[in-house]
Amino acid sequence: MRNILVLQGDGIGPEITNEAVKVMKAAAKAYNFELNFDYGLIGAKAIYGQGKPLPEETIQKAEKSDAILLGAVGVPELDGEKDPDRRPEMGLLGIRKAMQLYCNIRPVKTYNAIKHLSPLKEKVVAGTDFVIFRELTGGIYFGEKGRTDSGQTAFDDCRYSVSEIRRIAKLAYEEAMRRNKKLLLADKANVLETSRLWRETVTEMNKEYPEVTLEYQFIDNAAMQIILNPSQFSVIVTENMFGDILSDEASVITGSLGMLPSASYGEKTALFEPSHGSYPQAAGQNTANPVATILSAAMLLQYIGYADAAKIVEDAVTAALESGVTTSDINTGNPVGTTDVGDFIAKYVTENAKVTV
């Protein structure tokens, strides 16, 4: 029995997480394992219900869970709030901090059925399938920062330790071993001392993974190559700010934000969520694309040890796209509803699961 905490959040969050849970239940039944789902409050719904964006009860539930599935947070009426207890996004930042989630994982994949939606030429994006491992708790975002007394000079300190680098590089190497044994380190080792430490550490670790071909690109070149030839990449590992920039840049390749899953790993648990926001304008209309959340659920199944179940969910998503069972962000001509997409994917999982004894 694995315990899954579902944080539906705001806007379209409840709708898209409902479909992901539906699909996970179908996968669990098909592959003969048990999932126990619990629910907690986060974001605006938590503010309205309990006065703050991340109640202590939610943290306690998260600490007992094997994995966390998150919808999205945010509502227009709380945009611009200065009080941290009235800002929904503080719930997301708070759960990341409470669970010490140090590694963000962002898959980037194009699908033949919708590659025409990419802003890049189809021949450029064809075959793209890579994943970015971004360090999430260190670097310039978390270093000492400030201004001089005159206010005319500002500074942001960037620091990394070998232990911080090793723990995320280990995850990236393991993913490279599962894929095609290629790993790219994106850094700025020609200028930055922290990047030189990253390069030294990741290179030294290559001795532990001799089958993996380790390559390097400076961050400016890597950003350019993602646009010129994204299919060359398999696994990219990088520091916090560089990973933030690369993952946002890469997010447009697929053609729809509704296709982008993500995961954040910690020492004890992991959180899985779509890369898009809460889109409150579409809440309750059964039009939101649940695929990013369903693919996040597939990553969750992989994380808790059910690789076959994760793979069939991914296959079901591909089948839905090829069959045109898609929402209006992808299919403007004959779209279906959020629940229809979830129903199709769950049914595909049920009918096509291949259980090995």
Residues 181-220 pLDDT 10s? 999 999 999 999 999 999 999 999 999 999 999 999 999 9
**248 in catalytic set:** yes
Of the pLDDT bands very low, low, confident and very high (cuts 50, 70, 90), residue 327 is: very high
In a domain, 325, yes or no: yes
**303 in catalytic set:** no
Examine the fold and report which residue of 231, 257, 283 is the final residue of a domain before the chain moves on: 257
| DSSP labels, 66-114 | SEEEEEE---GGGTT--SGGG-THHHHHHHHHHTTEEEEEEEEE--GGG
Shared domain check, 168 and 230: yes
Q: What is the CA radius of gyration of the chain?
A: 20
Which strand (E) or helix (H) includes residue 133?
strand 129-135
**244 in catalytic set:** yes
Of the residues 188, 265, 279, 329, which is catalytic? 188
Question: Which residue is associated with the tokens 């060359």?
Answer: 232
In a domain, 262, yes or no: no
Antiparallel, parallel or unpaired: β 145-147 and 154-156: antiparallel
Examine the fold and report which residue of 235, 257, 279 is the final residue of a domain before the chain moves on: 257
Of the residues 64, 157, 220, 268, which is catalytic? 220
Shared domain check, 333 and 294: yes
Shared domain check, 204 and 91: no
**157 in catalytic set:** no
Of the residues 38, 141, 170, 181, which is catalytic? 141
Write out the two tokens for 293. 């959340």
Tell me the per-residue pLDDT of 231-265, one tens digit each, with 9 for 90 and over. Answer: 999 999 999 999 999 999 999 899 888 899 999 99
Instruction: Tell me the pTM.
Output: 0.92
Shared domain check, 226 and 138: yes
Shared domain check, 107 and 94: no
How many domains is the chain built from? 2
Shared domain check, 121 and 251: yes
Shared domain check, 237 and 119: yes
In a domain, 280, yes or no: yes
> Which domain range does residue 216 map to?
103-257
Shared domain check, 49 and 168: no
Of the residues 10, 244, 329, 343, which is catalytic? 244
**79 in catalytic set:** no
Shared domain check, 129 and 252: yes
29: CATH: 3.40.718.10
Q: What is the mean pLDDT of residues 53-72?
A: 97
Examine the fold and report which residue of 194, 226, 257 is the final residue of a domain before the chain moves on: 257
In a domain, 263, yes or no: no
